[in-house]
Amino acid sequence: MWSLDHTMMRVEDLDASLDWYQTYFDYEEKGRWEADTFTNVFLGPEDVHDDGALLELTYNHDGRSYTMGDAWGHIAVRCDDVYEAYDELMDAGVEDYRDPDSCGGSYAFVTDPDGHEIEIVERDHGAKWSLDHTMIRVEDAEQAIGWYTRKLDYDLFRREEFDDFALYFLKPEDAPEEAMSVELTYNYDGRSYELGDAWGHLAVRTDDLHSAWETLMGRHAEDYRDPESCDDRYAFTKDPDAREIEIVTN
């Protein structure tokens, strides 16, 4: 229970975004929800792991624009060799953003048509371009770690401490390597962040929506949008930094 199901981001031109992810990352459409006022499309590699996460693109039909904010950092996708992967993207026509050399040779970054940052990381597991983690910035590291471990039973499986910031990686203890994790970034200068609206939410999956919601309420998670208010299809709570967390069923 509580494994990460998808990361949702909002896009201003659905066709352009779909073309970008399908062309450069070989993503295929895994699902679509057409509503009167919006469209949701779920994407991932053809051979994504059963416990892997998907990317949800949300397109609102009213033509609105979005602000990126800085509370969300990036999604990260996997590859075998970061230099080869970056060169492949550059040769295919992706805009040069942060090459491996500028990142110490360990990773690289590109941006999608809406400016969402995408990190490219080397992994020896998972399908190529599958989602490895989603990075979010937090204002109180101890509080945020406590929330994910207490509310969602997440395990802190990796941490990296630097002079002016720290990184904390969490996911369920029994999650396979191919599952997506959440990366909490804490900067030591005490800065605050703006959520913006270009990023939407993280989603976690469960077998029983109502039982999961009762568990969250018993753990004093925020009662934001309960299952009944969402037609018993999903629900939403919020983490300590007001980031929306959706609960969906398998």
pLDDT digits (tens, 9 = 90+) for 143-199: 999 999 999 999 999 999 999 999 999 999 999 999 999 999 999 999 999 999 999
For the chain, the C-alpha Rg in angstroms (whole number) is 18
Q: What is the mean pLDDT of residues 196-221?
A: 98
pLDDT, average across residues 94-114:
97
Helix ranges restricted to H, the chain = 14-24, 82-92, 141-152, 209-218
Q: Confirm whether 29 is a catalytic residue.
A: no
Q: Furthest-apart CA pair in the chain: how many Å? A: 52
Q: Which of 46, 95, 119, 244 is labelled catalytic?
A: 119
Domain boundaries, the chain: 65-247
Q: Which CATH superfamily is domain 65-247 in?
A: 2,3-Dihydroxybiphenyl 1,2-Dioxygenase, domain 1 (3.10.180.10)
How does pLDDT run across 66-94, given as a tens digit for each residue?
A: 999 999 999 999 999 999 999 999 999 99
Q: What's residue 228's pLDDT?
A: 98
For the chain, helix (H) and strand (E) counts, in that order, are 4, 14
3-state secondary structure 2-14: CEEEEEEEECCCH
CA–CA gap between residue 118 and residue 110 (Å, rounded): 5
